[in-house]
Amino acid sequence: MNTDFIILAAGRGKRMTGSLPKVLLPIAGKPMAQHVLDTVAGIENSRPIIVIENQKSEVKKFLLTPKNTKWVTQRKQLGTGHAVKTALPELRTGSIAVVLYGDVPLVEVKTLKALIKMARKDSLVILTFNKEHSEGYGRIVRGSKNQVEAIVEEKDASKQQKKITEVNSGILAIQSAHLKKLLPKIKNKNAAKEYYLTDIVGLAKEEGMKINPLLLKESDEVLGANTPLELQDLERASQRIKANKLLLSGVNIADVNRIDSRGTLKVGRGSFIDVNNVFEGVVEIGKNVKIGPNCFVKDSTIGDGVNVKASTVIEDSQVGPGCTLGPFARLRGGTVMEGNSELGNFVEANRSTIGRDSKAKHLTYLGDATLGTKVNIGAGTITCNYDGEKKHKTKLEDEVFVGSNTSLVAPVTLGKKSSTGAGSVITKNVSPGDLAIGRSRQSNIKRKNKK
C-alpha cells in the first residue's frame, strides 16, 4: 500500500531569532526537516508532500528530497487543519496519509510503520505521549472503553482538562479517502480562529470511525522546538537517542550526555568512547577501538583495535587496524595509516600514507609523504612540501630512519634502510643504506672573558 507523508513545514519560527526557516535549523548536523525526510525514505512506497509558506526556493536549496516529492504552498497561516487541506490534491488514491512536522525530527521508522498498520483498519490513529508539565499541548480526552473522545487545545481546555498528562503529538495516520472527506468539515470556531487539525477526532467519531491512540513510551521521539532553548533540548535528546542505540549494540560510552554524532556513526562491539567526542559526516569505527577524550573525527574510517588518545583530530582519513594516534595528533587530506603504525603527540599528517609498523611519535609534520614499512621518524622532523607555488612529494622507503630535527625538502626520496643525521636539511635523494648528513660543520669560537 502507498503511504503519503504530509510534512508541515510552513512555520516561520519567529521566536528562533535566526534568518533561516525553522525547519532548516540543524539537529545532529543536518536540518530538522531532513531528518523527517530521511525517516520517510525508510518506508516502502512512500511519498513526501511538503507544505511550506513562501520560502520554497530556500527550503529546496537546503534539503535533499526524493524525485517523487511534492511541494505545496500554504499562502495564509490559518492553522494545521488548513495546512493539511492544501495537500489533499496530492494524495494518491487508496493511500494512507500520515501527517508529520518539519520541526519534529526524531520520530522513528518503527513508530511510523506501527501507525500505518493501525490505520489500515478504517480508523484514525493518533500518536500520543505522557508529559508531566503539559502546558501548550492538546490534551487527550478519553471516554468509555478508554477510547479517545477528543483532543482539546490548551487555549480551549477547562481547568480539569489541563490536568491531563496524556497529550497529542500532532502526528496522525488515516486513509486518504477519509481525510479528504473529513477535513473540509473542520471549522474555525475557537479562541484562535484557526482550523485545528485536532478537530478531525470529533468528526471521525460522528462518522462512526474508531479513534485509536498509539501511546509512545519515550517522549523524546516527538519533541519539537519553538524557541532556542527548546532547540537545545531537542539536540540533546537527539544525541541521547543515538548514544543509547550504540550502548545497546555493545559499545561502551563514558557518558551518553557528552558525545555528539552529527551524521552517520557506526561503531563496532567492544569499543570505548570517552567524554566530549564529536563525530561528523560519515564515520565508521571498528571493534575494540578506544577513543580518548576531546577527539574530533570527520568522514573517516578507523580499523579494529585502534587507540586514539586525547584531543586527536581525524578528518577525511583512513586508520588501519592496531594503529595508535595522539595525544594531540592530526590526520587530514585523505591520509592513510596502514596497520600498526603510530603518529604520536603533536604529529600532523596531510595527504600522506604511513606504512605498516612505521612511527612518528613526536612533533612532526608529514605533508604529501609516502612512508614504507618500519620507517622511524625522529622528533621535530618536517617535510618541506611547498615551494611557494606547488606541492611536492617525499618518499621514504622501507626501514628508513630519520634523525631528530630533520627537514626533508621535497621532491626527495630516501632509499631502503637509509638514514639521516639529526639536524640535517636533506635536499637530494639518498641511496639505499646510505647515511645523509646535511648540516654545516660545527665551529667553537673562543670568547674573551667578560668582566
Annotated catalytic residues are 362
The single-letter DSSP state of residue 406 is -
Q: Which residue has the cell 488548513?
A: 82
Q: For residue 359, give the amino acid letter.
A: K
139-142 and 148-152 strand pairing? antiparallel
- Can you spell out the DSSP letters for 331-377? EETT-EEPTT-EEEEEEEEES-EE-TT-EEEEEEEEESEEE-TT-EE
Are 98 and 125 in contact, with CB atoms under 8 Å apart?
no
Phi then psi dihedrals of residue 139, to 5 deg: -85, 140
Q: Shortest CA distance to 361 belongs to which of 322, 402, 397, 395?
A: 402
Phi then psi dihedrals of residue 181, to 5 deg: -80, -40
Cell of 92: 494518491
Q: For residue 221, give the amino acid letter.
A: E
Are 127 and 169 in contact, with CB atoms under 8 Å apart?
yes
Measured distance CA(129)–CA(451) in Å, rounded: 88
Measured distance CA(337)–CA(233) in Å, rounded: 38
Measured distance CA(279)–CA(312) in Å, rounded: 12
Measured distance CA(193)–CA(199) in Å, rounded: 13
- Can you spell out the DSSP letters for 207-274? TT-EEEEEE-S-GGGG---SSHHHHHHHHHHHHHHHHHHHHHTT-EES-TTSEEEEEEEEE-TT-EE-
Name residues whose C-beta falls within 8 Å of residue 63's C-beta, 6 or more positions apart in sequence: 24, 31, 33, 34, 37
Are 331 and 325 in contact, with CB atoms under 8 Å apart?
yes
